[in-house]
A and B are shown apart, each in its own frame.
Chain A
């Protein structure tokens, strides 16, 4: 018994060592950006790896960037677009995934393939047609235009992943529900959805990233100041001060922090979702 305990101890230690090394690899570049954003220009180049100290601490980059744009507003716009699009993606995606995984009907596989087509062609190619559509609908320079595009763009992946997970939900459970006289809608919302919460959380995180980081559609569909997103705002600086690394690093830091916070919030949900899904 004691031998077994020792090996499991050793194993845990090895696991920690590997995970710790990988954590360093994952976080090191972010660390580089953040520490250097708070240093004077000369120090960035002379000692890129040293922490900002009394001699090198300098917030000039942040001052430059914050003077130029309305970052709180950009942040709010990004948040609205991301959260609303995510809600649509998860709802519509889960409904469609349920239909595909639960019911046998003619064209089921074809419908699955059809809904997956979207991840096979870069949506940027449809830009002109999409822009014309938004112009016709009077939606240019509105956040709703972005929400529509991101919802459409997110659905394929959501359906793809969720239908795989929904296939693992036990038939007995659903049939028991049917015998109790639950409608198909009730079965979906009250029985199936709670069980696939880990997958929903995963899809939420995956879908959130390209929406938050997208530069192209904000630039084309909603470039106006009042609807500008954080990523577009930060990109402006990247072009504008390509040699002013203080400002570049500061705007990169400003772009990282909000999405990091958002991720941490979701990640909480994710853990809760995953564990509650696992315990059952």
Chain B
């Protein structure tokens, strides 16, 4: 890592410039111009500076804070389900796929990744169709194994809707952890595995004792990607449950709350100022999470160079 101290290292700038320029101009400037709106309020067509007034409203006015805390809590549960179901299964599948001399590994891997490439429109539509109490794909399937009484209108019940949606999200995105972990497992050199086998460490214990420590940085990446993705999620709930995130706002997460506020919905007019306020809070939540990862976890992870 250590570099010779040279006066000016132009190449560092050259390497960074294209990404930084495009990214700053098209993304950062527009986004921060929007977040800036959170400090203003429109009164009689004129934007008036209100400082942190909008934040006070978001947390102090029960009409806003009720919705906010509901969305934050739902979002947390959404994240917990994704983290607890998607990532372990993804890692497990990757481990199976990368095991030696497994036939058809490529076919399995391709198939399992297919849901990830589908658009939200398709995912929302097809799961509503499968879970529909009327057309009965799920009820019929359960009936064929004698469990028809297990079926319930899951997406319509405030107690089960959010978890159902979270599991659909797991189904859709499992390819991402699987793929990343798979790439990481494959880049473990043969010599390391062979040395382990010499010592009689094989199978499960080889995975736990040798491979897992080596792929910890990748597990870090998938965790933080899941966190950021879940706290930014919006589309799936929007297409499956609508902008009001029903039933009774039980599937409302920060993304849907933000979208409804910022752009408006039906008779509710868009309120870019309050929308930007919510976005700023979301941004802060995610930023804290990412900083915890970058400064707290990532630095402590041991990396092995091969």
Report if A and B touch in the complex (beta carbons < 8 A). Answer: yes
* Contacts from A to B (Cβ < 8 Å): 11-12, 15-16, 18-20, 22-23, 25-27, 29-30, 32-33, 44-45, 48-49, 88, 91-93, 95-96, 98-100, 103-105, 109, 111-130, 133, 148-149, 151-153, 155-157, 159-161, 164-165, 167-171, 183-185, 188, 198-199, 201-202, 205-206, 208-209, 212-213, 215, 231, 234-235, 238, 248, 252, 255-256, 259-260, 263-264, 267, 271, 274-275, 277-278, 280
B102 contacts A115, CB within 8 Å? no
30 contacts between A and B (CB under 8 A): A19-B97, A22-B89, A22-B108, A22-B112, A23-B108, A26-B171, A29-B115, A49-B137, A95-B14, A95-B15, A112-B294, A113-B290, A114-B28, A116-B294, A119-B232, A121-B232, A122-B234, A122-B255, A126-B31, A128-B30, A149-B26, A151-B22, A160-B221, A160-B225, A168-B187, A183-B11, A209-B116, A212-B117, A252-B122, A278-B186
B255 to chain A, nearest CB (A): 7
Residues of chain A with a CB closer than 8 A to B276's CB: 125
User: Counting CB contacts under 8 A, is B152 at the interface?
Assistant: no
**Contact A32 B15, CB 8 Å, known A15-B99, A274-B183:** no
The interface bits of chain B over 16-58 (1 if a CB of A lies within 8 angstroms of the residue's CB, else 0) are 1011101101111111011100000000000000000000000
B305 contacts A169, CB within 8 Å? yes
B252 to chain A, nearest CB (A): 16
**Contact A215 B306, CB 8 Å, known A118-B28, A153-B27:** no
B23 contacts A170, CB within 8 Å? no
Number of interface residues of B (CB under 8 A): 95
A202 CA to B13 CA, complexed, in Å:
26
B19 contacts A235, CB within 8 Å? no
A27 contacts B114, CB within 8 Å? yes
Choice from B19, B89, B294 contacting A96 with Cβ under 8 Å? B19
Chain B's closest residue to A88 (CB) is B22
Residues of chain A with a CB closer than 8 A to B111's CB: 23, 26-27
A120 contacts B286, CB within 8 Å? yes
Residues of chain A with a CB closer than 8 A to B11's CB: 183-185
Choice from A33, A104, A117 contacting B126 with Cβ under 8 Å? A33
Residues of chain B with a CB closer than 8 A to A259's CB: 117-118
A104 contacts B3, CB within 8 Å? yes
**Contact A252 B290, CB 8 Å, known A152-B23, A155-B23:** no
Q: Of the 9-residue stretches B63-71, B78-86, B128-136, B155-163, which lies at the interface with chain A?
A: B128-136
Choice from A15, A170, A201, A267 contacting B102 with Cβ under 8 Å? A15
B133 to chain A, nearest CB (A): 13
A207 CA to B117 CA, complexed, in Å:
10
Choice from B1, B26, B179, B295 contacting A148 with Cβ under 8 Å? B26
A91 CA to B259 CA, complexed, in Å:
32
Interface residues of B in 88-122 (CB under 8 A from A): 89, 92-93, 96-97, 99, 102, 104, 106, 108-122
B164 to chain A, nearest CB (A): 14
**Contact A23 B27, CB 8 Å, known A15-B99, A30-B118, A113-B294:** no
Choice from A15, A96, A248, A278 contacting B96 with Cβ under 8 Å? A15
Residues of chain A with a CB closer than 8 A to B182's CB: 274
Beyond known contacts A122-B258, A252-B126, A280-B189: 18 more, CB 8 A cutoff: A22-B89, A22-B112, A26-B174, A95-B19, A96-B15, A113-B290, A117-B28, A117-B287, A121-B283, A165-B183, A168-B187, A183-B11, A208-B117, A213-B117, A256-B122, A260-B114, A263-B113, A267-B106
A242 CA to B237 CA, complexed, in Å:
18
B119 to chain A, nearest CB (A): 4
Interface residues of B in 212-229 (CB under 8 A from A): 217-218, 221, 225, 228
The interface bits of chain B over 182-204 (1 if a CB of A lies within 8 angstroms of the residue's CB, else 0) are 11001101000000000000010
Residues of chain B with a CB closer than 8 A to A96's CB: 15-16, 18-20
A171 contacts B221, CB within 8 Å? no
A22 CA to B97 CA, complexed, in Å:
12
**Contact A48 B137, CB 8 Å, known A113-B290, A130-B30, A170-B306:** yes
Residues of chain B with a CB closer than 8 A to A255's CB: 119, 121-122
Residues of chain B with a CB closer than 8 A to A148's CB: 22, 26
Chain B's closest residue to A113 (CB) is B294
A125 contacts B1, CB within 8 Å? no
Chain B's closest residue to A245 (CB) is B129
B22 contacts A125, CB within 8 Å? no
A120 contacts B283, CB within 8 Å? yes
Residues of chain B with a CB closer than 8 A to A213's CB: 117-121
A175 to chain B, nearest CB (A): 10
User: Counting CB contacts under 8 A, is B271 at the interface?
Assistant: no
B127 contacts A29, CB within 8 Å? yes
**Contact A238 B291, CB 8 Å, known A95-B18, A99-B16:** no
User: Counting CB contacts under 8 A, is B176 at the interface?
Assistant: yes
User: Counting CB contacts under 8 A, is B246 at the interface?
Assistant: no
Chain A's closest residue to B89 (CB) is A22
A160 CA to B224 CA, complexed, in Å:
10
Interface residues of B in 256-272 (CB under 8 A from A): 258-259, 262
A73 to chain B, nearest CB (A): 19
Residues of chain B with a CB closer than 8 A to A248's CB: 125
Residues of chain A with a CB closer than 8 A to B116's CB: 209
